[in-house]
Amino acid sequence: FSLALSLGLAIAGLTVRGGTGRRPSRKQEKDSQKPAWEEAGFVRRPACWLAVKSRSLAAVQAAFGLHNPKPCSWLRGLAGEEPVFIAPPVKGWVLVAGSGLPDPCDDADKCFRFLLDLSRKLGHVQLFSFSSILHHHAWVQAEAGRITRAFAWAGQTLWKQGRRTAAERELKVECPDYDFAAVGVGVPEIMALNAEKVPLLAARWSLDPARI
């Protein structure tokens, strides 16, 4: 019995040592190079994105002038690692994200012209933007070459147009006028809360990317 037990332990030890000495496969090496958020399957919400009311991926690609699109994963695309990422249609909406999108908090005029042109081609287009650090935020609706609703804040009101929607009233978001004194008591906290509500507004108007 003692001899059999000793031989069994020796074989087990050799098996364990042999297993730990294996070289990882190419797939394992590739996976280990992924960002932590992608390895965990966590969808990051982009800082700026569009929601286009359409079921045609080709129509949205054509509107952006993309002639040679390449495949891209949801996780990578929604993380904003590509200039333009166009997602497959979801519930009648096509989401677009990427560093190439104009942000109204950076340049409201450029974003205004961009959305007018895009909505002429595609119909109903929405834009959402927010910064969890600076608390800058914006939301815009455009329809067939016309801005129906817009609000953008970056330390002051940069863009305010159209009537408040039912979703905005329901969420009780604040939309100060252009002459609003941004240095008032409690203003930073109020606008920070506004920024946090942008994904909730997106979910009511169309889609929240992180909830897909």
Q: Using one digit for the tens of pLDDT, what is the confidence trace for 66-79?
A: 888 899 888 888 87
CA distance 11 to 155: 69
CA distance 90 to 88: 6
Mean pLDDT, rounded, of the chain: 84
CA distance 10 to 5: 9
CA distance 16 to 192: 54
- Flag whether pLDDT at 115 surpasses 70: yes
The per-residue pLDDT for range 26-68, each reduced to its tens digit, is 444 444 455 544 454 455 789 999 999 999 999 999 999 988 8
Q: Using an 8 Å Cβ cutoff, are 122 and 54 in contact?
A: yes
Exposure pattern of 171-201 as b/e (b: 16+ CB <10 Å)?
A: eebebbeeeeeeeeeeeeeebeebbebbbeb
Alpha helices per DSSP H over the chain: 2-20, 26-32, 36-39, 57-63, 74-78, 108-122, 166-171, 187-196, 198-205
The per-residue pLDDT for range 159-176, each reduced to its tens digit, is 999 999 999 999 999 999
Residue 183 has a pLDDT of 63
CA distance 57 to 35: 28
Judged by average pLDDT, the poorest of 57-71, 73-87, 105-119, 198-212 is 73-87
The per-residue pLDDT for range 142-152, each reduced to its tens digit, is 999 999 999 99
Judged by average pLDDT, the poorest of 111-115, 156-160, 185-189 is 185-189
Closest to 168 in 3D by CA, of 133, 128, 111: 128
CA distance 144 to 119: 5
